[in-house]
Structure 1
């Protein structure tokens, strides 16, 4: 019995010693003070319960990953500058007239560019019809990147198309996130590789460790064809995104098609991700020299390897720029303090602030936390709507009568600090008017909620909401 007690004491002591070192690691690497305090406190007090979650959700070897990614990014930036012709230089907007765009070139390291055309793709049918048509017409290179790919009807259609184009001599690069596609069977990617498609999985860590790292995922959805056309937005590849899978059907999501000089910056974003995953530079093509339109675009890639918190600062800058109207659609409303503060300030400036959220939950903990944040937003004068027909997954922002943003970033800490995201901000009154029409149709199928959604909830449910909010740094 004495020996058994000694063994147990030794094991507990080892856990606490490891917990001390892990807590020191958390203090040095976790970006936010609340997150660092939460991890360090848990690792010091209950290391036998906190060590495994820290391995799954914490920083792990993230500092080395950040340094490596910055090195690769610097190399890719040098390559891009070597590719820029005089026609591209002429498209650079040195001093954007709209205040919402002025900080973004320095924040992202990418120029604000004119001469673009952006087309709104308002649902899964329009999105994949456009993407598949572009891939069928591909002549030289296609870059394809998704966070989630399912081996279902839509996924197999994409697989067959990529294999067919690779057999026709088109260079196909297919990048998927290893955790987002955890359910994708191995034979799916092997089939594409056998057909000549270059396939790679994105992972923040090499080998077995990546299976335990649920944070720092690549959440981008991007397709670029022949350097001429790019598609980005909220859709992944799966039947649910086509509205074919209850109970979340019909699925509400938005994509855009981009043409013009901004396509090169979108290619470079893919190239950085591919270079990290496969250790090679993909074939890149310059967009046509003639302007595709008259729209001004700013590409905003963001991720945990950035020197600054690009995604959160992007939202802060965009919200601060609003003078009359700020409409946001997001599936997950778990803002950080900075974003929540500027949302409240926008209301105090007299801005019409509306946020459209799902009426159905796909993640119960996130939905509970979002409900509490929604209540607090309503108390501050923000109008909150819930989309009724099905699950709302789109990530769209409309600012006044000129600025509109469409991309992959949600209004939550996971997008702000933990995931690699991609957004395109546009400055064009005609396109903003199209986005306005789309959102008005969405609001017409939503109901505005009040404080009663929270106040009328049973006591245990309200307690659950507050508990869920404690996990906001990793939601």
Structure 2
């Protein structure tokens, strides 16, 4: 065949457009949202030269097959747990019904697969040093079992400190389990894992599916960050394991993030979430520990573990329910602000109800396309009456929700489609006035170091920038 012939190029273009049409039909039948289906289908039909390969990486998926496989793994995991008498939750769960504030979240008892439990202790950890000092101190004191799960683990100074500590505890006879995401930690060298395995640490990568084709699959990432030590002390929040989380990246420093230290009955829920993910990765169950007694007072807490295998879109519905429940105040911080229609409508309604709605987003981008789309959504939110702020000192990565005077939620979920529908996320909901006051103080300091976005900002934006924002918004459902 003459590869320089115009007929060859004609056939090639025809084949590409045919494949684009087939992929567009596949997107219509498989993409979960109408916006996402339209974004993929239109781009695949009209510019398949640029979108076929990205669709293979980001969009093409045997969604139903994956969901059924994950649900089957969860069923097998719970069968394996049945003999452990794992749910000592009835008496504690009853206490949640007496909370007027929690009662405002009317859908939460059924939306979350795990109950709201009383008698927990929580401690706010602001930024990386406080977070990793507390985590490393807890692991250093471990006597039985350490469960560690992060989206990203880097082989840098912080990562090697974690590695050395885990090897030390394994040598002492502590059972150590480490789970990381295969895409989030794609730069983690195999030598890092090999050293841990040789030292007696059980380490696994969370992968969506096995097989050659799915090496291109980057959806359904496990974005959770969980540490549980001896079933007595747990950690959840926004930090991953990397020097940039301690402010070592000059372009994004100082890094602003938040974690929570928690103890009490709710650790059963954190361990169960870890067990589901570990069982998916290994088809084995990690050790799970329940103390014989708990304190008789403390904070109401509920773990909200969400993911694409849920029967409903748990993460998106959580934000909608949280926004609708707000009566006086709704403060949210998120590194990415790409709300879906339901969340955006809920924000507008909250403003109309007279709620003080404030959202804090970064002033520095770590992903420029996402930043551009977030900027356009921020301008639209300002026009709807939402007070939008950009955190100025460095990169803002924390995921925090503060509702009225008692309710807060801290964890891994962002305000974007990837967290709403594609990632495995985890949030810790707390119902307590004293802890909410601490969160308020923290966020007040953050807002004081932020610049409010005004209507003038929307008018002063250059037309080329506006064009870039609108193009980014077109693909926002698949970001």
TM-score, L = length of structure 1: 0.95
Residues 1:311 and 1:67: Cα distance change in structure 2 (over 3 Å): same
Q: Match for residue 172 of structure 1?
A: 176
Q: After TM superposition, give the deviation of residue 6 of structure 1 in Å.
A: 5.2
Give runs of aligned pairs for residues 147-226 of structure 1, distance below 5 A: 147-226=151-230
Aligned counterparts of 2:415 and 2:319: Cα–Cα separation in 1: 8
Q: 1:355 aligns with which of 354, 359, 380?
A: 359
Is 1:403–1:432's contact at 8 Å kept on the other side of the alignment?
yes
1:141 aligns with 2:141: no
Aligned counterparts of 2:296 and 2:315: Cα–Cα separation in 1: 27
Q: Match for residue 41 of structure 1?
A: 42
Is 1:87–1:289's contact at 8 Å kept on the other side of the alignment?
no
Aligned counterparts of 2:454 and 2:177: Cα–Cα separation in 1: 47
Aligned counterparts of 1:82 and 1:149: Cα–Cα separation in 2: 34
The answer for unaligned runs of 5 or more in structure 1 is none
1:278 aligns with 2:282: yes
Q: After TM superposition, give the deviation of residue 383 of structure 1 in Å.
A: 0.8
Q: Deviations over 1:63-110 (max 9, x none)?
A: 211111111223334455654468532111363532443312312221
Q: Match for residue 263 of structure 1?
A: 267
Q: Which moved more, 1:179-188 or 1:3-12?
A: 3-12
Residues 1:215 and 1:386: Cα distance change in structure 2 (over 3 Å): same
Q: 1:428 aligns with which of 422, 429, 432?
A: 432
Give runs of aligned pairs for residues 447-466 of structure 1, distance below 5 A: 447-466=451-470
Aligned counterparts of 2:30 and 2:212: Cα–Cα separation in 1: 22
Aligned counterparts of 1:48 and 1:440: Cα–Cα separation in 2: 48
Q: 2:340 aligns with which of 316, 327, 336?
A: 336
Q: After TM superposition, give the deviation of residue 21 of structure 1 in Å.
A: 3.8
Is 1:69–1:305's contact at 8 Å kept on the other side of the alignment?
yes
Residues 1:119 and 1:31: Cα distance change in structure 2 (over 3 Å): same
Aligned counterparts of 2:286 and 2:44: Cα–Cα separation in 1: 42
1:65 aligns with 2:69: no
Q: Deviations over 1:358-401 (max 9, x none)?
A: 12111111111111111111111111111111111100010000
Q: After TM superposition, give the deviation of residue 9 of structure 1 in Å.
A: 4.8
Is 1:88–1:289's contact at 8 Å kept on the other side of the alignment?
no
Q: Match for residue 305 of structure 1?
A: 309
Residues 1:45 and 1:358: Cα distance change in structure 2 (over 3 Å): closer
Structural RMSD (CA): 1.9
SS at match of 2:89: helix
Aligned counterparts of 1:66 and 1:296: Cα–Cα separation in 2: 31
1:401 aligns with 2:405: yes
Aligned residue pairs: how many?
A: 475
1:31 aligns with 2:35: no
Q: Match for residue 112 of structure 2?
A: 108
Is 2:328–2:356's contact at 8 Å kept on the other side of the alignment?
yes
Q: Match for residue 234 of structure 1?
A: 238
SS at match of 1:145: strand
Q: After TM superposition, give the deviation of residue 265 of structure 1 in Å.
A: 0.8
Q: After TM superposition, give the deviation of residue 247 of structure 1 in Å.
A: 1.8
Q: Which moved more, 1:72-81 or 1:231-240?
A: 72-81
Q: After TM superposition, give the deviation of residue 229 of structure 1 in Å.
A: 1.2
Q: After TM superposition, give the deviation of residue 356 of structure 1 in Å.
A: 1.0
SS at match of 2:300: strand
Q: After TM superposition, give the deviation of residue 8 of structure 1 in Å.
A: 4.4
1:364 aligns with 2:376: no
Q: After TM superposition, give the deviation of residue 46 of structure 1 in Å.
A: 4.2
Q: Match for residue 385 of structure 1?
A: 389
Aligned counterparts of 2:289 and 2:296: Cα–Cα separation in 1: 16
SS at match of 2:119: strand
Q: Match for residue 375 of structure 1?
A: 379
Q: Deviations over 1:226-262 (max 9, x none)?
A: 1111101000011111112212111110000111111
Q: Match for residue 443 of structure 2?
A: 439
Q: Match for residue 134 of structure 2?
A: 130
TM-score, L = length of structure 2: 0.94
Q: Deviations over 1:400-441 (max 9, x none)?
A: 001000000011111111111100111111110111111111
The answer for unaligned runs of 5 or more in structure 2 is none
Q: Match for residue 75 of structure 2?
A: 74
Q: After TM superposition, give the deviation of residue 36 of structure 1 in Å.
A: 1.3
